[in-house]
Amino acid sequence: MRALYTLLACSSLLGLVACGDDDADDNHGYVTMTFQRLAGEDNPLPGTRRVNIAVDYRSELADFYRDQGNEWAADGPKGAEVFEAWESRLCNKDLPQVAGCTVLSINQELDGGSPQLRVSYEVTDDDIEFAKFYIGPIPTQSLLGADPLVEMNTQGVAGFNGSGDVIWVAKNYEPSAASPKFSVGFSVEVGPQ
pTM as predicted: 0.86
pLDDT tens, N- to C-terminus, the chain (193 residues): 333 333 333 333 333 333 333 444 679 999 999 999 999 999 999 999 999 999 999 999 999 998 866 899 999 999 999 999 999 999 999 999 999 999 999 999 998 788 999 999 999 998 999 999 999 999 999 999 999 999 999 999 999 999 999 999 999 999 999 999 877 899 999 999 8
Tell me the torsion sign for CA atoms 41, 44, 45, 51.
Answer: negative
- Quick one: which of 29, 9, 25 has its CA closest to 182? 29
Nearest residue to 128 via CA among 147, 105, 101: 101
- The residue ranges of every structural domain in the chain are 2-191
C-alpha distances in Å from residue 46, one per residue of 128, 135, 180: 7, 21, 28
